[in-house]
């Protein structure tokens, strides 16, 4: 048998130009594998010389898959450059829209991008492994999912403008106050979405995950550290807080994101234009070796659940306790990203309701006065795909002199490569790699929602 390369491209439900290349040796076993992603490096040069306050409006047109998160991380970075602290109401409104955007994204990912693997099954024909397959298997559920995701999207649009081009966040706060009438209908809508989130996690725990326990415990499993954001009490937070970087053994260090470069390095590898972030502060270098990885940590849902001591809302906390009783802390199995995603969905809905119940959120002082100036600022939020960092420097006129971005999926580039390598080695033997096997390899990638 001659050595050959198997290519999976484009990956069925992953956007962009992601491709997997699996190299087989003469015996038909896996010698090596690589996952290649589109690179966004050009963006940082593009924004140099532009007025910083324009960046929150530019970035969401380019990174429009999660526009709200880029919009707000960018606003936070510019706040810091210009030395302004948003008003309390401005801060709360930003957190509210970001939390609702998280709730919307998780429903979309679980049901449309990931669940097909579970609901239809990984061995099913490609033609039915999509939403039409889901609708045939469970038409009532499919309709409900579309309705709920649309409801979340429309909350954002009706209150804060079109999600794809958000302009509601502004340097120093938020562009407009929340009226009492808006607060009331948004509360009612979020309560409905919370009910659906609770239904979803029960449905998944009862009807979905138990059938895939073997896969969960084996497919794409690697051992890494984790990164996420926590509040002063150590509870998971999606919008603001300190960054927690956890080692594979569970030991962790917390830091202010302004100092991220002391903790996170960016490694260049010869086979990719993308830079691979790694835990510089562990002082062990960078290696994707499956048996002995170095400096490798993961971001996104499972990472946030692992680094948090607790959840700040009651239903999500109950779910986290159940999850930890089954899988421990930190949980390493890659497919548990899906389970963690549903716990975060419950939290996002509960927390949006908490924010809306706070009467001070309708305060009309939504924006602090701000003057452009020279400075440096790092803005960070937890985007659906992981810790999102925008780092800008400005000159005296408030023009950008330098920008560095670390986007959620970038943290996971190394781990995704490791999970694919692990899955390919476990599944492909003697040159046999049928559709079912290749889809299982893709499943290992999809868990990260790249």
Partner 1 sequence: MCLAIPAKIMAIENDTATVDVDGMVRRADLTLVENARIGDYVIMHAGFAIDVMDERAGLESLALLREAFPVEHDDRPA
CA 379 – CA 79 distance, rounded (Å): 8
Q: Is 19 among the residues that bind partner 1 (CB under 8 A)?
A: yes
Cβ pair 82, 379 in contact under 8 A: no
Site string for partner 1, 101-130 (x = CB under 8 A): -------x---xx----------------x
User: Strand runs (DSSP E) across 9-66, as ranges?
Assistant: 19-24, 30-36
The beta-strand segments (E) located in 105-241 are 169-170, 173-174, 225-230
**Alpha carbon 218 to its chain's center:** 23
Nearer to partner 1, 152 or 361 (CB): 152
Rounded to a whole number of angstroms, the minimum distance from the CB of residue 14 to partner 1 is: 6
Report in angstroms how near the CB of residue 42 gets to partner 1 at its nearest: 5
Task: Establish if 164 lies at the interface with partner 1 (CB under 8 A).
Answer: yes
CA atoms within a 13 Å half-sphere pointing along the CA-CB vector of 76 = 24
Q: Mark residues 69-108: x for contact with partner 1 by CB under 8 A, - for none.
A: ---------------------------------------x
39 binding partner 1? (CB under 8 A): yes
Which tokens hold the place of 159?
């209150």
The answer to whether residue 287 forms part of the interface with partner 1 (CB under 8 A) is no
The window from 62-70, 201-209, 240-248, 353-361 that contacts partner 1 (CB under 8 A) reads 62-70
Minimum CB separation from partner 1 for residue 61, in Å?
5
Q: In the 8-state DSSP scheme, what is residue 428?
A: -
Q: Does 362 bind partner 1 (CB under 8 A)?
A: no
Q: If we measure between CA atoms, which residue out of 433, 422, 7 comes closest to residue 215? A: 422
Stretch that binds partner 1, among 143-151, 187-195, 339-347, 360-368 (CB under 8 A): 143-151
* Bridging pattern class, strands 297-298 and 225-230: parallel
Closest listed residue to residue 79, CA positions, set 376, 359, 291, 351: 376
Decide whether 61 or 191 has the Cβ nearer to partner 1.
61
- In the structure encoding, which two tokens stand for residue 317, read together? 């906390």
Can residue 26 be called a binding residue for partner 1 (CB under 8 A)? no
Q: Using an 8 Å Cβ cutoff, are 445 and 420 in contact?
A: yes
Residues of the shown chain interacting with partner 1 in the complex, contacts defined by CB under 8 A: 5, 7, 12-19, 21, 23, 34, 36-43, 46, 58, 61-67, 108, 112-113, 130-131, 146, 149-150, 162-165, 271-274, 385, 407, 409-410, 450
């Amino acid at each position: 048998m001659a050595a050959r390369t198997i290519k999976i491209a484009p990956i069925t439900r992953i956007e962009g130009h992601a491709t997997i290349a699996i190299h087989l040796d003469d015996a038909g076993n896996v010698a090596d594998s690589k996952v290649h992603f589109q690179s966004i490096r050009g963006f940082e040069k593009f924004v140099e010389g532009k007025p910083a306050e324009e960046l929150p409006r530019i970035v969401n047109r380019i990174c429009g898959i999660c526009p709200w998160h880029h919009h707000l991380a960018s606003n936070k970075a510019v706040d810091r450059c210009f030395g302004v602290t948003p008003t309390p109401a401005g801060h709360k409104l930003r957190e509210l829209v970001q939390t609702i955007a998280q709730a919307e994204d998780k429903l979309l990912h679980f049901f449309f991008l990931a669940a097909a693997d579970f609901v239809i099954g990984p061995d099913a024909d490609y033609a039915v492994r999509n939403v039409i397959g889901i609708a045939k298997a469970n038409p009532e559920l499919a309709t409900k999912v579309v309705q709920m995701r649309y409801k979340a999207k429309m909350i954002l649009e009706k209150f804060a403008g079109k999600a794809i081009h958000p302009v509601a966040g502004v340097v120093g706060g938020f562009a407009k106050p929340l009226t009492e009438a808006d607060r009331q209908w948004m509360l009612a809508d979020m309560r409905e979405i919370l009910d659906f989130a609770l239904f979803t996690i029960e449905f998944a725990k009862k009807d979905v995950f138990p059938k895939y326990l073997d896969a969960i415990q084996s497919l794409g499993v690697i051992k890494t550290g984790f990164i996420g954001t926590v509040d002063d009490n150590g509870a998971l937070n999606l919008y603001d807080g300190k960054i927690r970087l956890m080692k594979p053994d569970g030991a962790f260090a917390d830091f202010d994101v302004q100092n991220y470069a002391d903790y996170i390095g960016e490694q260049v590898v010869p086979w990719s234009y993308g830079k691979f972030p790694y835990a510089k502060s562990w002082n062990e270098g960078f290696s994707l070796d499956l048996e002995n990885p170095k400096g490798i940590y993961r971001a996104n849902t499972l990472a946030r659940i692992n680094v948090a001591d607790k959840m700040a809302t009651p239903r999500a906390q109950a779910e986290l306790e159940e999850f930890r009783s089954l899988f421990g802390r930190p949980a390493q199995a890659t497919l548990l990203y899906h389970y963690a995603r549903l716990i975060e969905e419950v939290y996002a809905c509960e927390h949006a309701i908490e924010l809306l119940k706070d009467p001070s959120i309708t305060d009309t002082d939504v924006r602090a006065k701000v003057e452009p100036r020279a400075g440096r600022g790092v803005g960070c939020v937890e985007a659906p795909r992981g810790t999102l960092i925008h780092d800008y420097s400005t000159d005296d006129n408030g023009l950008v002199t330098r920008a560095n971005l670390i986007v959620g999926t970038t943290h996971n580039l190394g781990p995704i490569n490791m999970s694919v390598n692990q899955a390919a080695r476990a599944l492909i033997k003697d040159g046999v790699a049928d559709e079912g096997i290749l889809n299982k390899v893709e499943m290992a990638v999809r868990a990260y929602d790249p």
